[in-house]
């Protein structure tokens, strides 16, 4: 049974009812448990639970320490192209936006990677808009083959691929995938997307295709701000639990892309506050103790510093969200505005001050050979 089948059987109304009917007594009873799972998410994400953030933070911190120690893994996104055939309402790379379009040559991409390597990064996330012709699998394969000589982990955030294509890229050195469903609400999804990405089911099943191709990391997420996060995150939790169970050898990660200003002036219809985002992180950490929780530079330094150690286990640092941003021109348009502009060394120093340990590398491909 795929997650598409699971989703078809999911009763959104019941989740909504439990979320909005939960009382303080329900929350207190849930927090008093010794273990939690995804069935507890509607209560943990309820408006009533928002009054228990401190208690949830304490539990989330304890679980994180127990499962992950005091380690925060650092990674950097490498934008290789801003060309896109889609017209997602919320994105600066939207094909209808009249911006300068750029796809890096293989040599330029390697130059960008060298700049990140010099900063200490050994985990790269290759990011591109969705354009199969400008960014074909063969191009990705050529870049990854070269990068895998220097980087312990190379993950990709590109258009959804077929299983055999994921396999081919895996053979070239791709270690993982990040692909966000954006929202699990089909009606909202339909309203926001235009182009091949409008195929909700094909996108939803991409993490499973990557899992079957043997990827070590599978990252998913929902775009915060599109719809009621309390419901979307409950479903996202079920998606993560499904992937963890089905692909038990892979590390499943959840990201929290919160909508920020982008070219085109899109205003998020269901804004998510800092307190909301903290509740999301704590709830997911409690329900899914072994999932990797990722916080990007979309978030402001004060928020990132505060959340480090309270559930988050992976962070980007020093990110540029435009192709060529690290070592080439500074002209191309960003996909979204970066809020934490501190250099990676400064982020690492912040983590040390909080008695956390920034980790640039936690695996070596050599272990996979022989
Ligand atoms: S979100 Fe992705 S697919 Fe949509 S317009 Fe932006 S780059 Fe293209």
The closest residue, in CA terms, to atom 7 on ligand 1 is: 129
CA of 16 to the centre of ligand 1 (A): 29
- Supply the DSSP symbol for 47: T
The pLDDT, as a whole number, for residue 261 is: 56
pLDDT band, very low/low/confident/very high, at 334 (cuts 50, 70, 90): low
The domain of 140 spans: 3-368
The pLDDT, as a whole number, for residue 330 is: 59
The pLDDT, as a whole number, for residue 338 is: 87
Among candidate residues 154, 89, 161, 79, the one with its CA nearest the CA of residue 124? 154
Pairing status of strand 123-128 against strand 251-255: unpaired
Alpha helix (H) residue ranges in 213-341: 229-246, 274-287, 301-307
Question: With contact defined as beta carbons under 8 Å apart, do 321 and 35 qualify?
Answer: no
The Cα 96–Cα 127 span in angstroms is 20
The pLDDT, as a whole number, for residue 190 is: 97
The pLDDT, as a whole number, for residue 92 is: 86
311 CB under 6 A from ligand 1? Answer: no
Question: With contact defined as beta carbons under 8 Å apart, do 178 and 219 qualify?
Answer: yes
Among candidate residues 178, 173, 180, the one with its CA nearest the CA of residue 113? 173
122 or 361, which is more confident? 122
Token look-up 């992950």 returns 68
92 CB under 6 A from ligand 1? Answer: no
CA of 83 to the centre of ligand 1 (A): 9
93 CB under 6 A from ligand 1? Answer: yes
List the single range of 46-50, 260-264, 316-320, 328-332 with lowest mean pLDDT. Answer: 260-264
CA of 29 to the centre of ligand 1 (A): 42
- Supply the DSSP symbol for 52: G
The Cα 358–Cα 72 span in angstroms is 5
165 CB under 6 A from ligand 1? Answer: no
CA of 94 to the centre of ligand 1 (A): 6
The Cα 360–Cα 363 span in angstroms is 10
pLDDT per residue as tens digits for the range 97-130: 988 899 999 999 999 999 999 999 999 999 999 9
What is the number of domains present in the chain? 1
91 CB under 6 A from ligand 1? Answer: yes
Q: Percent of the chain, pLDDT > 90?
A: 88
Among candidate residues 362, 336, 277, 290, the one with its CA nearest the CA of residue 77? 336
8-29 burial string, b = 16+ CB within 10 Å, else e?
A: eeeeeeebeebbeebeeebbee
C-alpha 79: how far from its chain's center? 15
CATH of the domain at 225: 3.20.20.70
Q: At what angle do helices 274-287 and 53-68 cross, to 10 degrees?
A: 50
Residue 103 tokens read as: 């796809």
The pLDDT, as a whole number, for residue 369 is: 62
19 CB under 6 A from ligand 1? Answer: no
Among candidate residues 35, 39, 40, the one with its CA nearest the CA of residue 67? 35
pLDDT band, very low/low/confident/very high, at 333 (cuts 50, 70, 90): low
84 CB under 6 A from ligand 1? Answer: yes
List the single range of 241-250, 268-277, 319-328 with lowest mean pLDDT. Answer: 319-328
- Residue 222's SS3 state is strand
The pLDDT, as a whole number, for residue 151 is: 96
3 CB under 6 A from ligand 1? Answer: no
Look at residue 157 and tell me whether its pLDDT is greater than 70.
yes
237-275 burial string, b = 16+ CB within 10 Å, else e?
A: bbbbbbbbebbeebbbbbbbbbbbebbbebebebebeee
Look at residue 364 and tell me whether its pLDDT is greater than 90.
no
Testing ligand 1's pocket by substitution, the residue of 81, 87, 94 carrying the most ligand atoms inside 8 A of its CB is 94
pLDDT per residue as tens digits for the range 178-203: 999 999 999 999 999 999 999 999 99
Look at residue 332 and tell me whether its pLDDT is greater than 60.
no
265 or 74, which is more confident? 74
Q: Which atom of ligand 1 is nearest to the CA of 159?
A: 3
The pLDDT, as a whole number, for residue 370 is: 54
Residue 305 tokens read as: 């510093």
Q: Which atom of ligand 1 is nearest to the CA of 91?
A: 6
CA of 53 to the centre of ligand 1 (A): 33
Testing ligand 1's pocket by substitution, the residue of 81, 87, 91, 131 carrying the most ligand atoms inside 8 A of its CB is 91
Look at residue 12 and tell me whether its pLDDT is greater than 80.
yes
80 CB under 6 A from ligand 1? Answer: no
CA of 24 to the centre of ligand 1 (A): 40
SS3 content of the chain, % helix, strand, coil (to 5): 45, 15, 40
């Amino acid at each position: 049974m795929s997650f598409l089948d699971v989703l078809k059987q999911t009763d959104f109304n019941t989740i909504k009812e439990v979320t909005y009917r939960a009382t303080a007594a329900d929350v207190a009873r849930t927090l008093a448990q010794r273990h939690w799972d995804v069935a507890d998410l509607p209560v943990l994400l309820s408006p009533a639970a928002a009054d228990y953030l401190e208690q949830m933070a304490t539990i989330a911190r304890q679980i994180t320490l127990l499962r992950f120690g005091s380690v925060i893994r650092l990674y950097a996104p490498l934008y290789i192209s801003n060309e896109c055939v889609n017209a997602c309402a919320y994105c600066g790379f939207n094909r209808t936006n009249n911006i300068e379009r750029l796809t890096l040559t293989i040599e330029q991409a390697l130059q960008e990677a060298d700049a990140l390597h010099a900063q200490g990064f050994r985990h790269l996330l290759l990011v591109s808009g969705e354009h199969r012709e400008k960014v074909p699998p063969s191009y990705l394969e050529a870049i990854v083959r070269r990068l895998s000589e220097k980087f312990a982990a190379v993950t990709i955030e590109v258009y959804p691929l077929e299983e055999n294509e994921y396999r081919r890229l895996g053979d070239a050195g791709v270690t993982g995938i990040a692909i966000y469903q954006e929202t699990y609400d089909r009606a909202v999804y339909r309203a926001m997307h235009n182009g091949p990405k409008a195929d909700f089911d094909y996108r939803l099943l991409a993490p499973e295709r990557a899992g079957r191709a043997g990827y070590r990391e599978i990252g998913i997420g929902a775009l915060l701000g599109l719809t009621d996060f309390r419901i979307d995150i409950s479903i996202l939790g079920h998606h993560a639990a499904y992937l963890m169970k089905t692909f038990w050898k892979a590390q499943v990660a959840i990201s929290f892309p919160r909508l920020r200003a982008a070219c085109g002036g899109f205003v998020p219809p269901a804004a998510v506050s800092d307190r909301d985002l903290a509740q999301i992180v704590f709830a997911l950490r409690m329900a899914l103790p072994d999932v990797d929780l990722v916080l990007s530079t979309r978030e402001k330094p004060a928020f990132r510093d505060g959340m480090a150690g309270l559930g988050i286990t992976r962070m980007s640092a020093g990110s540029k969200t435009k192709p060529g941003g690290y070592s080439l021109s500074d002209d191309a348009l960003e996909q979204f505005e970066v809020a934490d502009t501190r250099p990676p060394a400064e982020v690492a120093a912040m983590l040390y001050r909080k008695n956390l340990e920034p980790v640039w590398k936690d695996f070596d491909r050599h272990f996979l050979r022989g």
